[in-house]
């Protein structure tokens, strides 16, 4: 049977998505890969893979009889602004290599994540629509918008099955995020669970769309399992759970840690956040493949703090 290759399996999404894929398909069906010499899932096959190396990617696909790829390796928004050429090369060359190997090896499906970063200041800030003005202002956002168009081009030109979600900021405790603008929320939760205060690099009322990782993983699997004829969006689906600002997160954290204090020292990441929507209209995902988030914002904070507190020394 053909196998599933997860590229970027050691990352924030890959760590948890791989576990969910193993539950669904079995350990022998999932091959993990990332840039590091070792994987995070010791029971699984692991390949050290730089996705910008097309030849190595093609070899891994052939060697493991791969039929499906989840391509999650990417530079995020804040790190991308600091290292623009590196970010563009990783995000674009990586995606084009995946699409090309998928075409040549006739893979059955590809998953690739887009992001709310593909939107920009011309997008309505509330309920950003599925289709509308998109003028991203970061290298990361430009790569996501270009990537959406490349995925649509390959799908239309070659009849390939390429599926994608515009993830909001994702919150999780298993693996660190890779330098994003929404990372402040994760850092604040880690600080609170360690009995520390936190200084946010986004301002007190900077509202952004966010989601808990178990919901993001389930959305990914539900999208990838949906019958193809049900999916009408060409490109990437808007996806949402809830939105909050640093002030609201601090208020909810204080229900468990009353002494917790959040201070505010906005830096260059504030400019990035200011160009993103405050909320997302994900009605197409809800209509076409019955998307609905399971965790409320309060559930997420509670679950995160419980896991993080249990991991304290």
Question: Which active-site residues does the annotation give?
Answer: 140
Q: Minimum CB separation from ligand AKB for residue 46, in Å?
A: 25
Cα separation, 28 vs 116, in Å, equals: 34
Output the CA–CA distances (angstroms, integers) from residue 47 to 40, 76, 112, in the order listed: 11, 23, 19
Write down the residue that tokens 């890959």 correspond to: 14
The answer to whether 52 contacts ligand AKB (rule: CB under 6 A) is no
Of 33, 182, 200, 220, the one binding ligand AKB (CB under 6 A) is 182
Output the CA–CA distances (angstroms, integers) from residue 165 to 6, 157, 223, in the order listed: 16, 20, 8
Nearer of residues 88 and 257 to ligand AKB, judged by Cβ: 88
Write down the residue that tokens 């003005």 correspond to: 133
Nearer of residues 18 and 115 to ligand AKB, judged by Cβ: 115
The answer to whether 115 contacts ligand AKB (rule: CB under 6 A) is yes
Q: Which stretch binds ligand AKB (CB under 6 A): 31-39, 42-50, 179-187, 255-263?
A: 179-187
Q: Which stretch binds ligand AKB (CB under 6 A): 3-11, 32-40, 175-183, 259-267?
A: 175-183
Structure tokens at 150: 């490349």
CA dihedral for 268, 270, 272, 275, sign (positive or negative): negative
Q: Minimum CB separation from ligand AKB for residue 72, in Å?
A: 12
Q: Minimum CB separation from ligand AKB for residue 115, in Å?
A: 3
The answer to whether 169 contacts ligand AKB (rule: CB under 6 A) is yes
Cα separation, 93 vs 124, in Å, equals: 30
Q: Minimum CB separation from ligand AKB for residue 284, in Å?
A: 19
- The gap from C-alpha 40 to its chain's centroid, in whole angstroms, comes to 18
- Per CB under 6 A, contacts with ligand AKB among 289-308 are none
Cα separation, 56 vs 60, in Å, equals: 6
Structure tokens at 65: 């009889």
DSSP 3-state assignment of 264?
Answer: strand
Structure tokens at 296: 């409320």
Strand partners, 48: 34
Angle at 150 between CA 149 and CA 153, to 5 degrees: 85
Closest CB to ligand AKB: residue number: 180
Nearer of residues 101 and 123 to ligand AKB, judged by Cβ: 123
Nearer of residues 115 and 279 to ligand AKB, judged by Cβ: 115
Of 33, 52, 164, 181, the one binding ligand AKB (CB under 6 A) is 181
Q: Minimum CB separation from ligand AKB for residue 162, in Å?
A: 19
Tell me which residues touch ligand AKB (CB under 6 A): 76-77, 115-117, 140, 167, 169, 180-182
């Amino acid at each position: 049977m053909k196998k599933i290759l997860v590229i970027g399996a050691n990352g924030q999404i890959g760590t948890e998505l791989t576990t969910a894929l193993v539950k669904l398909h079995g350990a022998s069906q999932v091959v993990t890969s990332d840039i590091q010499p070792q994987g995070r899932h010791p029971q699984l096959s692991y390949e050290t893979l730089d996705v910008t190396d097309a030849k190595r990617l093609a070899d891994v696909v052939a060697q493991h009889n791969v039929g499906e790829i989840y391509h999650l390796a990417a530079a995020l928004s804040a790190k991308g602004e600091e290292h623009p050429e590196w970010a563009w090369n990783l995000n674009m060359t990586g995606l084009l290599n995946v699409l090309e190997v998928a075409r040549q090896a006739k893979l059955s499906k590809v998953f690739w994540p887009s992001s709310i970063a593909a939107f920009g200041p011309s997008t309505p800030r509330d309920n950003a629509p599925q289709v509308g003005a998109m003028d991203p202002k970061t290298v990361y956002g430009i790569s996501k918008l270009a990537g959406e168009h490349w995925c649509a081009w390959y799908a239309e030109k070659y009849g390939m099955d390429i599926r994608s979600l515009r993830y909001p900021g994702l919150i999780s405790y298993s693996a660190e995020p890779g330098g994003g603008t929404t990372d402040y929320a994760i850092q604040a939760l880690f600080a609170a669970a360690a009995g520390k205060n936190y200084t946010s690099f986004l301002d007190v009322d900077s509202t952004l769309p966010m989601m808990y990782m178990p919901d993001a993983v389930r959305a990914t699997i539900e999208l990838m399992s949906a019958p193809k004829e049900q999916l009408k969006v060409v490109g990437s689906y808007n996806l949402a759970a809830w939105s909050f600002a640093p002030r609201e997160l601090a208020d909810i954290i204080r229900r468990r840690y009353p002494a917790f204090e959040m201070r505010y020292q906005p830096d260059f990441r504030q400019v990035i956040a200011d160009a993103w929507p405050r909320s997302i209209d994900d009605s197409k995902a809800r209509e076409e493949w019955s998307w609905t988030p399971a965790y409320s914002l309060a559930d997420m904070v509670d679950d995160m703090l419980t896991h993080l507190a249990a991991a304290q020394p």
